[in-house]
Amino acid sequence: MGLRLVQPEGQQKPKCLLRFGDASLLERHLHFLKAAGVTEVVFVTGFKSEQIEAELASIDWKPASEIVVNEEFTLGSVLSVHTAREAMTRGGDVLLMDADVLYDERIIEPLVAGGSVNRLLIDRDFEAGDEPVKLCVENGVPVELRKQVAAGLAYDTIGESVGFFRFDHATATRLAEICAEYVATGRAKMPHEEAVRDLLLENLQNPSHAFDIADVTGAPWIEIDFQNDVKRAADEVLPQLNALRQFAGATGALQR
């Protein structure tokens, strides 16, 4: 809903429809997913879903994306993941991605690389505070995923978790089960990162489904939560993305 953004009364729109440069966040997502070879996309919508559907129609992305609607979108994001449970358990690896992120394609490349895997993304260059979801790593193994890290936890690396995850089929199925447990026990207001954290801690005991990490430190990205994030996205991140795109285009021209 973007409640922490400054939007004119009666003109609020879903954050994924914020435009930076010549495209919405939504269109940028689809562009990168297509470039990565992802063709099956399911959007979980809620607030003003009809606006998202109209944007998807105007993009005319093929094959058509699937939309599932979380009617109780004022609750937590764990309910949104639960709403997508059928898609989460169809088979194959699953990408779970927040829609309010402006990012460079170098963020998504390591997420989709290689064979079936459970993977988290870490950015070691982050601003400390209560808002970032911290990812703690010990000897290359992720051991914590939370905004507040418990005192005394052993880790040798800490960074911010980018809001994108990859799960193999068995792990995605287990995440769907955990989210269902949250909803059934009155915890539908919780953020989905808590369910992913439960999954991560479970998998520490199961090496065959353990998580690995991909370090994306240095690749420009920003999650849009506050009005200042909108300004930083436009003034700091977008120019970097445009510069990288222009460089890639020049390199391609030289190669041809």
Q: Output phi, psi for 204, to 5 deg.
A: -60, -25
The reported pLDDT for the residue numbered 69 is: 92
Q: Give CA angle at 192 (191, 197), nearest 5°.
A: 110
List average pLDDT for each run of 10 residues in the chain, which is 256 residues long. 65 88 93 89 91 89 85 91 95 94 93 93 90 92 93 93 95 96 96 95 83 94 92 94 56 34
The reported pLDDT for the residue numbered 245 is: 59
Residue with tokens 């939370």: 146
The reported pLDDT for the residue numbered 97 is: 95
Q: How far apart are the first and last CA of the chain?
A: 45
The answer to whether the CB of 136 falls within 8 A of the CB of 153 is: yes
Domain ranges of the chain: 15-230
Q: How far is CA 28 from the centre of its chain?
A: 13
Residues in the chain: 256
CATH code at 15-230:
3.90.550.10
The reported pLDDT for the residue numbered 8 is: 63
The reported pLDDT for the residue numbered 64 is: 75
Positive or negative torsion for Cα 4, 147, 45, 39: positive
CB count within 10 Å of CB 57 equals 10
The reported pLDDT for the residue numbered 254 is: 34
Q: Give CA angle at 89 (175, 178), nearest 5°.
A: 20
Positive or negative torsion for Cα 215, 125, 135, 160: negative
CB count within 10 Å of CB 242 equals 13
CB count within 10 Å of CB 155 equals 16
The reported pLDDT for the residue numbered 248 is: 46
